[in-house]
Structure 1
Amino acid sequence: MRTRRSHSQVTAIAPSHAELLPLVAAAARAADHASLRPWRLIELRGDARDRLGQAFVQAAGLTGDAALKQAGKPLRAGLLLAIVACRQPSEKVEEWEQEAAAAGVAHLLTLLLSEAGWGVMWRSGPYTRADAVRRMHGLRDSEQLLGWLYVGAVPADCKPAHRTPIDPNEYLSAL
């Protein structure tokens, strides 16, 4: 955890479905009030990344060079993992808490992928709520896309990231 960093550039080499399964099982240990498991993950590889790029273009209403650039964004990694919050009916667990549980799974998964040697970056943005993108992912009315984990091998020439340390006293208080 102390060395985790986002990798904005990764190679096309990515973990296989079989390699992901134990990591997803471990990430499912995230805090989850009432054990609703209000989340799911969608693997996007190959052609699915092209379809996502086209959904980005449609959502943005772009043409020409701008459309080409936008369509290429999902091709920045060999694997994208869509993080989907799936609202479950519950009298005691609010929707925001269910989305937080899904985000917790995504964050733990970034840590696990990083620990396994993969480069990861969580990307989101305005297209997570766009109709074209929702349709492309086959989302139900009760689901919200939280973003994508872009996953791939760390390039050999990757420089270690520097992150300015925080003063924990500024973020931890008592009543």
Structure 2
Amino acid sequence: MSQKPPVQAAVEARRSYSKVTDEAPGQAELERMIASLVSLPDHSGLRPWRFIALRGAARDRLGHGLAAAAKTDPEKYVSKARRAPLVIAIVVSPRPSDKVPLWEQEAVASGAAHTLALLLHEAGWGVIWRTGELTRKKAVRKALGIKKPEYLLGWLYVGGIPPRNKTPKPRKPLQVERHLTTLVSGPEARR
């Protein structure tokens, strides 16, 4: 039996971890992972994305921004922002282009975030991508220093994987026929 290619094995092993420990990748490790995103599919090489790393008390800025957007007491949202030792804001940073529409640039930013999450997971870190109705509110952008035309896609919460979560439950198999259609040409296409 042949072994799965490493990328396929990594994709199949990836999980979201809503609870993580207080450990997190250091700045140098994070920078190496982000540098490897150089090969992402990106029409015209615009690189219309960036990340903001929040550690320590900097996470409180996110919590206060979420609370201001929700028009509520910050305690709940500051607590949420501190669920992981590293929170990475995913920012769409559109570039002017006659060839590459905004939706395509957002798709590239989403691909960058997903690939970073996969790299973090493969390196042994627990990751979950969080979003919510407050993600694109002005108060949240302002708290993180994000100015239009940039906007948020959410946050990667990153930390150590708790020992009890090292062996995740198996997932239900994907029903490929629901997610893949093959168009045919020639005589069989006319039936």
Pairwise same-fold verdict (TM > 0.5): yes
User: Residue 81 of structure 1 is aligned with which of 79, 88, 102?
Assistant: 88
Q: Which residue of 2 aligns with 1:114?
A: 121
Task: Provide the aligned C-alpha RMSD in A.
Answer: 1.1
What code does the residue aligned with 2:88 have? L
Q: Secondary structure at the match of 1:2?
A: helix
1:168 aligns with 2:168: no
What TM-score results when the alignment is normalised by the length of structure 2? 0.86
Distance 1:135 1:10 in 2: 27
Aligned length: 172
Q: Which residue of 1 aligns with 2:27?
A: 17
Quote how far apart the aligned CAs of 1:68 are: 2.3
Q: Name the structure, 1 or 2, with higher relative contact order (CA <8 Å, separation 6+).
A: 1
Distance 1:70 1:50 in 2: 8
Is the 8 Å Cα contact of residues 38 and 85 (structure 1) preserved in structure 2?
yes
Structure 1 ranges of 4+ moved more than 6 A: none
1:59 aligns with 2:66: no
Distance 1:168 1:59 in 2: 40
Identity of aligned residues (%): 50
Is the 8 Å Cα contact of residues 64 and 143 (structure 2) preserved in structure 1?
no
Is the 8 Å Cα contact of residues 126 and 161 (structure 2) preserved in structure 1?
yes
Distance 1:70 1:162 in 2: 32
With 41-50 and 163-172 compared, the bigger mean Cα shift is at: 163-172
Quote how far apart the aligned CAs of 1:70 are: 2.5
Q: Which residue of 2 aligns with 1:155?
A: 162
Q: Secondary structure at the match of 1:28?
A: helix
What code does the residue aligned with 1:136 have? A
Q: Which has the larger radius of gyration?
A: 2
Q: Secondary structure at the match of 2:39?
A: coil
What code does the residue aligned with 1:47 have? A
Q: Which residue of 2 aligns with 1:104?
A: 111
Quote how far apart the aligned CAs of 1:161 are: 3.1
Distance 2:170 2:60 in 1: 33
Is the 8 Å Cα contact of residues 60 and 81 (structure 2) preserved in structure 1?
yes
Quote how far apart the aligned CAs of 1:124 are: 0.8
User: Residue 49 of structure 1 is aligned with which of 59, 68, 71?
Assistant: 59
Unaligned ranges ≥5, structure 2: 1-10, 184-191
Quote how far apart the aligned CAs of 1:110 are: 0.8
Q: Secondary structure at the match of 2:121?
A: helix
What TM-score results when the alignment is normalised by the length of structure 1? 0.94
